[in-house]
Amino acid sequence: MDLTNNLSSKKFFVFNLVLLGAIFGFVLAFLTFACSSGPGDAQSKLTAKAQETNVVVPANALETAESVQSAVRAVADKVVPSVVQLKTVSVRKQQIPNFNGIPWEFFFGPNNPRGGGEGGNEQEYRAQGLGSGIIVRKDANTYFVLTNNHVVSDEQGKAVDEIVIETDTGKEFPAKLLGRDDRRDLAMVSFQSSENLPLAVLGDSNEVDVGDWAIAVGNPLGFASSVTMGIISAVGRTGGPGNNINDFIQTDASINQGNSGGALVNIRGEVIGINMWIASSSGGGSVGLGFAIPINNAKRTIEEFISKGEISDGWLGVSLMDISKDSQVIKALNLDGIHGVLASDVFIDSPAEKAGILPGDFIIKVDNKEMLNINRLQQTVGDLKPGETHVFTVIRDGKTQEFKVKIDIRNNDIAAQNKKLWPGFYVHTIDDDLRTIFKLDKNASGLVVVRVIEQSPAAIINLQRGDIITEINDTPVKDIASFYRVLREKAVNEFWADIEREGSKLETMKYKK
């Protein structure tokens, strides 16, 4: 046995024992001190610390928190019964490949249904969907529910075949679709019930401001009657899925799939928006970027859905271009610092043309209301009643002009007729990027055709992308301002152009209105 090692081990053991005792004593002393200090001592220390950092601790903080909690409870009690779940079914048929009868004919014979045939067999598929809706009106035993168009539409945009309404109590009622509006992404369904169900109270979305409380009610991922809370993050947002014409309320209240068509309400329980979509980088999960259609956008829609099952949108008859980020066009048209939308094309025989609005006019106001972007103008015109006359203010050649336009009813078939879109092509000043894209000579300058609308007058006279425009109706054009000026002055009723294409000079055929 090594005595030196044994002695060292005993010293190490004693040292550890002393260290352990010291730690135990320190913990015991700390606990004794903590137990001997009353709540008043702790509060005094917190108060002193707060005073040192100049922070005022409100005495009624708990009462304030409980007041907010009570308000949210009241909102939930008020709103949840008026928000329903929509269960939809889309019935679709799909062709089954027949494999030319092999191997089924070998086993079952050529006349057996499993043998296929030239066209094969059809199989029926029932695709299910979920969404939310808001009870907004009652007439006798008929309840009317506002929701999103995409909730009652399949992936191809067709109306679903079956709709069932489920209330917050779990009762289900068959429902029917009354009308859809894909431009606003709104729809109306109805169902019958003898029960006394509460109606949602519609607020005023024009009064919504950033920082206001926002409470979302719906059925995310099928979890019925879910309530989430946040604030209004922004108002007047544009964009979103599809070709909608809405501006949006942005909120960080949690919104997920299934919330669509549900209610976004204020702290008073008034509906200020219809939840529609989310922006997400996580595959569709909520990241605090939810968007709702302002309820004021839907009020006229509700009335028209109930009264006639469709929306009568106003129609101006122009093709619009947002040039807010194109410094070349802004500078060329002398529009720096001015908000509005460029009417790049005008439909032949449209309300706009009849009133005198022409290609190149920059629309800045409708009835003295500023038109800040395309969405605002489209929404404003869509809400105008057909047959009424409204004043449109435009900037033309640097001067402000007003035109009285008698609004027509929007007909999607007419609005899609490109052959009436005058002139039907877009030009841009040649720069290095366009020289590369269209393989133009390095010294090429002037205007190049960047887009030609199919079946439009420009397409009919055989204008092509990459053509350099030198003259219109025998009048030289060198920049965008002169291009639109010549269109208005020299090409009102007929149009032809001198162009350069692949190094050759050509003249297009003429087009007459």
Q: What are phi and psi of 383, to 5 degrees?
A: -85, -10
Compute CA distances 54 → 43, 46, 423, 510, whole Å.
16, 12, 68, 80
Q: Are strands 248-251 and 226-237 parallel, antiparallel or unpaired?
A: antiparallel
Can you tell me whether residue 258 is helix, strand or coil? Answer: coil
The single residue of 82, 90, 150, 226 carrying the catalytic annotation is: 150
- Torsional class of 255: left (φ above 0), alpha (ψ -120 to 50), beta (otherwise): beta
Tokens 């299934």 belong to which residue?
Answer: 258
What Rg, from alpha-carbon coordinates, does the chain have? 34
Residue 254 annotated in active site: no
| CB 402, CB 368: distance < 8 Å | no
Query: Could you say which of 225, 233, 254, 260 is catalytic?
Result: 260
Beta 248-251 vs 341-347: how paired, if at all? unpaired
- Quickly count: other Cβ atoms within 10 Å of residue 497's Cβ: 27
How far is residue 338 from each of residues 330, 368, 373, 389, 392, measured CA to CA in Å?
Answer: 9, 15, 11, 25, 16
Query: Tokens 């002009």 map to which residue?
Result: 401
Strand partners, 124: 93
Cβ contacts of 361 within 8 Å, gap of 6 or more: 342, 343, 394, 395, 396
Looking at the chain, how many residues does it have?
Answer: 513
Tokens for 250? 């942005």
Question: What is the spatial distance between Cα 438 and Cα 443, in angstroms, rounded to a whole number?
Answer: 13
Annotation says 260 is catalytic:
yes
Residue 223: C-alpha distances to residues 35, 76, 167, 257 (Å): 46, 15, 13, 10
Instruction: Indicate the residue type of 223.
Output: F
Residue in 132, 153, 168, 185 annotated catalytic = 185
Q: Determine the number of helices (DSSP H) and then strands (DSSP E) in the chain.
A: 12, 29
| Burial class for 229, CB neighbours closer than 10 Å (0-12, 13-18, 19+) | middle
* Cβ neighbours of residue 381 closer than 8 Å, sequence gap 6 or more: 313, 314, 315, 316, 366, 407
CA distance 191 to 205: 27
432 Cα distance to chain centroid: 35
Does residue 307 carry a catalytic annotation?
A: no
Q: Residue 224: phi, psi to the nearest 5?
A: -65, 145
255, amino acid identity: I
**Residues with catalytic function:** 150, 185, 260
